[in-house]
Amino acid sequence: MAALTLETLDLVNPDLYVQRGYPHEEWALLRKEAPVFRYVRPDVEPFWAITRHADVVNVSRQPDLFKSSQLLFVTQDEPGSPLPDEAVLRQLLNMNPPEHGEFRRVVNQRFTPRSVQQLKDQVERITTEVLDELVGREECDFVTEVSAKLPLAVIAEMFGIPRADWAMMFRLSNAMIGPADPEYGGSETIKENLEKARMEFFQYFNQLCEDRRKNPRDDLASALANGKAFGEPLPPFELFSYFALLIIAGNETTRNATTGGLHALISYPDQWERLKHDPSLAPKATEEIVRWTSPVIQFTRFATADTVLGGQQLREGDILVLFYPSAARDEEVFERPSVFDIGRYPNPHISFGIGEHFCLGANLARLELQVMFRQLAQRMEFVELAGPTQRMRSSFVGGIKHMPIRYRIRAR
Amino acid sequence: MRVVVDHNLCEGNGRCAEVAPQMFELRDDDRSYVRMQTPPQDLRAKIQLAVTLCPRQAIRLIED
């Protein structure tokens, strides 16, 4: 293979992510030689690639200078792709202060550590049930049978969505986050995939909201349906966008951290033995898994004024891409960053982001991962890969679609 | 020095109360409150750590 150079390295081609996973060598080179790097390639919107932990923090904590926009992430232009402003919803990820805070307050009380702690028994029960279904067999697809099920069940229960509709939520959520992936799409073009999924989602949620306005309950759907921002009910498009955001975000990323976490534990058998020997390591293991997998690859910001960052002159309107998996392997912050160490402490990763847009569901994700990996450590006596893993075609979120495993699991 | 918690940002993640319990307390409304107006200098390092660790970057240390 040709040597890696700044001029030729590729960061946003979705096919690259299918074939090789995350471009850690590329990011390492950028952190070392060009941490604020002007990325100019054919068929890609030019941007500044931000790869160091300190710079990602610095940009994230100045939401007025570096704003979020309709452009959530940068990818290779492809025929049939939606235009950037067609592809997005109006939701927290592309809002700015003060609107962002106002909308975030509609639900944020339900995601505080205290609120999330009240879900613990529920998460334990769902996890146990999910693992029970593996008993009596020796092989399964860990993604569809385990890691996808827990987050979906938890967010669906929080919303008050009946169990009969969970499978549909799973399908639509996949189609909305991975419209460029042929397995999740099904239509002729990426744009059509997205529109079809969105329409179905929209109709379902409309009914749910109507019901919760008439019969409010103590669930997320009621909080949204009856929620207010700036003293007014949420407008329909914003309301739907909020729903889509929470369902998708509550689904995909935790799924991918779970899958990636088990993959890492299989790849580092000493760490798997360590966790089995001491399941109380699950909280630290969770932090390391989130650092290691960094399921969100990138979010963008744009500069609202000329400014200097990392010695580079940025112009007003320039796009910045924050690469979270790169920040998670920054040699200046983490000792031996390329080692998977489930006891790592301190572990100041920023894979949930930081500042204004810090992951709303971080506490929930942590709880789900902690419970899942503690139960796996207690029940799964043996596990290995039973075939090749298949990654999702996306340069936005790092997903594993299928991961066949061979295992032995204890009955309860 | 003075310490301010921005309650528009704070979501009660509680890292501050973990690393500097003398300075921050998490109350029933899931927000962090400062325990004193003018903290002693020997708390500076811990407060700095809380500022850095806050996931929402809601804490500011203001020099007099």
User: Pick from B13, B52, B53: which is nearest to A113 by CB?
Assistant: B13
Percent of chain A with pLDDT strictly greater than 70: 97
The nearest alpha carbon in chain B to A116 belongs to B13
pLDDT at residue A1 in the model: 57
Examine the pLDDT at A256 and tell me if it is beyond 90.
yes
DSSP state of A94: G
User: Pick from B11, B14, B53: which is nearest to A108 by CB?
Assistant: B11
Cβ distance A352 to B8 less than 8 Å, yes or no, reads: no
A348 CB neighbours in chain B (<8 A) are 52-53
pLDDT at residue A85 in the model: 55
Percent of chain B with pLDDT strictly greater than 90: 94
B56 CB neighbours in chain A (<8 A) are 354-356, 358
pLDDT at residue A221 in the model: 96
For residue range A130-163, list pLDDT tens digits in order: 999 999 999 999 999 999 999 999 999 999 999 8
A355 CB neighbours in chain B (<8 A) are 55-57
Cβ distance B12 to A352 less than 8 Å, yes or no, reads: no
Task: State ipTM.
Answer: 0.92
Q: What is the mean pLDDT of residues A385-409?
A: 95
Structure tokens, A268: 């580092």
Cβ distance B57 to A354 less than 8 Å, yes or no, reads: yes
pLDDT at residue A87 in the model: 56
Q: What is the mean pLDDT of residues A177-193?
A: 78
Examine the pLDDT at A86 and tell me if it is beyond 80.
no
Selection from A308, A314, A400, A300 nearest residue A44 by Cα: A300
Examine the pLDDT at A393 and tell me if it is beyond 70.
yes
Segments in A3-159 forming alpha helices (H): 14-20, 24-33, 53-60, 84-87, 99-104, 113-117, 120-132, 142, 149-159
pLDDT at residue A216 in the model: 97
Cβ distance B55 to A362 less than 8 Å, yes or no, reads: yes
Examine the pLDDT at A20 and tell me if it is beyond 70.
yes
b/e A6-39 (16+ beta carbons within 10 angstroms → b): eeebebbbbebbeeeebbeebbbbbbeebbbbeb
For residue range A226-249, list pLDDT tens digits in order: 999 999 999 988 999 999 899 888
Q: Are A375 and A128 in contact (CB under 8 A)?
A: yes
Per-residue confidence band for A173, with pLDDT thresholds at 50, 70 and 90: confident
Q: What is the Cα–Cα distance from A373 to A365, expressed in whole angstroms? A: 12
Structure tokens, A214: 């008439």
- The dihedrals phi and psi of B41, each to the nearest 5 degrees, come to -60, -30
Q: What is the mean pLDDT of residues B42-46?
A: 95
Q: What is the mean pLDDT of residues A290-310?
A: 97
The nearest alpha carbon in chain B to A360 belongs to B11
Strand partners, B34: B24
From its phi and psi, is residue A128 left (phi > 0), alpha (psi between -120 and 50) or beta? alpha
From its phi and psi, is residue B57 left (phi > 0), alpha (psi between -120 and 50) or beta? left
B49 CB neighbours in chain A (<8 A) are none
Question: Of A75-89, A267-281, A385-399, where does the model show the most confidence?
Answer: A267-281
Examine the pLDDT at A2 and tell me if it is beyond 80.
no
Would you call A319 exposed, middle or buried from its count of C-beta atoms within 10 A (0-12, 13-18, 19+)? middle
User: Pick from B8, B13, B30: which is nearest to A109 by CB?
Assistant: B30
Q: Please name the amino acid found at residue B53.
A: L
Examine the pLDDT at B39 and tell me if it is beyond 90.
yes
Examine the pLDDT at B50 and tell me if it is beyond 80.
yes
pLDDT at residue A406 in the model: 98
pTM for the structure as a whole: 0.94
Q: Are A35 and A50 in contact (CB under 8 A)?
A: yes
Percent of chain A with pLDDT strictly greater than 90: 83
Q: Are A161 and A168 in contact (CB under 8 A)?
A: no
pLDDT at residue A167 in the model: 87
Examine the pLDDT at A353 and tell me if it is beyond 80.
yes
User: Pick from A112, A352, A354: which is nearest to B11 by CB?
Assistant: A112
User: Pick from A111, A114, A358: which is nearest to B56 by CB?
Assistant: A358
For residue range A87-139, list pLDDT tens digits in order: 568 899 999 999 999 999 999 999 999 999 999 999 999 999 999 999 999 99
Cβ distance B55 to A354 less than 8 Å, yes or no, reads: yes
Q: Are strands B32-34 and B24-26 parallel, antiparallel or unpaired?
A: antiparallel
pLDDT at residue A177 in the model: 75
Instruction: State chain A's mean pLDDT as an integer.
Output: 93
Per-residue confidence band for A355, with pLDDT thresholds at 50, 70 and 90: very high
Cβ distance B57 to A348 less than 8 Å, yes or no, reads: no
- Secondary structure class of B4 (helix, strand, coil): strand
pLDDT at residue A112 in the model: 94
pLDDT at residue A283 in the model: 97
Examine the pLDDT at A50 and tell me if it is beyond 80.
yes
pLDDT at residue A225 in the model: 96
Q: What is the Cα–Cα distance from A41 to A38, expressed in whole angstroms? A: 10
Residue in A62, A112, A117 to test binding to B, most B beta-carbons within 10 Å: A112
Instruction: State chain B's mean pLDDT as an integer.
Output: 94
Q: What is the mean pLDDT of residues B17-34?
A: 95
pLDDT at residue A84 in the model: 55
pLDDT at residue A83 in the model: 60
Q: Are strands A47-50 and A319-323 parallel, antiparallel or unpaired?
A: parallel
Among A106-120, A173-187, A277-291, the minimum mean pLDDT is found in: A173-187
DSSP string, A259-317: HHHHHHHHH-HHHHHHHHH-GGGHHHHHHHHHHHH-SB-EEEEEESS-EEETTEEE-TT
A354 CB neighbours in chain B (<8 A) are 55-57
